[in-house]
Amino acid sequence: MKTEKIQIFDHDTNLDVTHKINTMELDNWINHLKYIKKELSNLINICQNELKDKLDDNSVANKFEKKEVENQTLLNALNTYSKSRLNIIECEDTQCDMIYITEHESYRRSYLYHLDKYRRLKDEFFNKVQGTFTLLKVN
């Protein structure tokens, strides 16, 4: 399911609404991880080329490369999970629905943890290169 096609109706049950919201959230996570993938590629390129002589070591670039692998692993897992959610409509009892909801919560924690670690790594990078760039004065 794509986010733009999902509609919540007055006659939807609470579980239907929960599943629809979770599907929209999952789609946002996947799109965000795709963006992070592009951003990591750019950051790695900056570290290995433009800032190669200005950075003391390759530790930040290596950390970005490791994060790139982790990002792809999580992206793959979320894409697989997204495909498995197509079977939600086959749930006939609350126990089945709860399995999907519990699984979603687990992926939410993984996504938020990944995001937090990625933001910390970017902060580390920007702290390291601060002052390396020359800022132009605007009159």
Domain boundary assignment for the chain: 14-129
Q: Residue 2: pLDDT above 60? A: no
pLDDT band at 55; cut points 50, 70, 90: confident
How far is it, in rounded angstroms, from Cα 131 to Cα 122?
16
Instruction: Output the pLDDT for position 134.
Output: 52
How confident is the model over 48-63, as a mean pLDDT?
81
In this predicted structure, the answer to whether residue 54 has a pLDDT above a threshold of 90 is no
Q: Which two tokens stand for residue 117?
A: 């670690």
Q: Which two tokens stand for residue 41?
A: 């590629």
Q: Which of 76, 97, 80 is nearest to 88 (CA)?
A: 97
3-class secondary structure, 54: coil
Q: With bands split at pLDDT 50, 70 and 90, how would you rate the model's confidence at 50?
A: confident
Angstrom distances, CA of residue 9 to CA of 12, 14, 39: 5, 11, 37
Instruction: Using alpha carbons, list the distances in angstroms from residue 22 to 2, 14, 90, 115.
Output: 12, 12, 17, 18
Residue 118's nearest CA partner among 73, 44, 67, 62 is 67
Confidence band of 121 (pLDDT split at 50, 70, 90): very high
Q: Which of 4-18, 52-66, 67-81 has the highest mean pLDDT?
A: 67-81
